[in-house]
Amino acid sequence: LTTLFFLILTVSKPVASQNCGCASGLCCSSAGYCGTTDAYCGEGCKEGPCKNSGPGDPTVSLEETVTPEFFNSILSQATESDCKGRGFYTHETFMAAANAYPSFGATISKREIAAFFAHVAQETGFMCHIEEVDGPAKAARGDYCDTTKTEFPCVPGKGYYGRGAIQLSWNYNYGPCGRDLNEGDLLATPEKVAQDQVLAFKASFWYWTTNVRSSFKSGFGATIRAVNSMECTGGGVPSETAANRIRYFQDYCTKLGVQPGENLSC
């Protein structure tokens, strides 16, 4: 009987209890275990292919949720007369990028969609800016080149300032992004992100799934730190730009019919 009891415990034991760092394809449950059933991927799931990003926020179809009307409502918020992003950032190219990078939309919720577009709105001025304002000048003085990242060396004459829907920056992001998307050596050709309409979104999806998505389980505020930690000030008081992101997030949550949840600020 003792042996049988031990075997039952062994068989029924969760895959891992490590808070979490699960293998690819496994969800991290609210208790910190790895697995694939609803007990792991359902409510409270922390990371991995979760079915819910939070209470009342189930996984949805990206195509059915990000309608042309929703997408264009963000574009219409732009006030700049010289809005270069009009005609570059389109609903058609957004969906083309999503189809080419399916992991972005495969397990997404309304709340996460609102979060993504809140950052896009702030980063690009409601999809007006294809490149970072004053980016070339910043690159000329050596910004965005981290020479300690020897795996992704900066190419002389190239600038790694912000480009795309969520402005991809730094050599250590351009390098792995190009590799993972099979887009060639973006260290040698970073300008491609500002020239290819689909790549401008794909690079942003890559950054989101690689650097931001896991933070979203802790609330929108955590995604601000993941996108631009410099906007987060002491005492939980957001900077002006962080406050913009929060306001856009709340607005887009309202448009999509979902509550924004807790922990909105840094």
Active site residues: 123
Could you write out the three-class secondary structure of 94-116?
HHHHHHHCCCCCCCCEHHHHHHH
Which amino acid would we find at residue 28? C
Backbone angles phi, psi at 197, to 5 degrees: -60, -40
Cβ–Cβ < 8 Å for 65, 113: yes
Q: What share of the chain is helix, strand, coil (3-state, %, to 5)?
A: 45, 5, 45
Q: Is the bond leading into 20 cis (omega within 30 degrees of zero)?
A: yes
DSSP labels, 5-51? HHHHHHHHS-S-BSSS-PPTT-EE-TTSBEESSHHHHSTT--BSS-S
Buried/exposed 96-105: b ≥16 CB within 10 Å, e otherwise: ebbeebeebb
Site of tokens 């389980």? 217
- The 3-state DSSP class for residue 237 equals coil
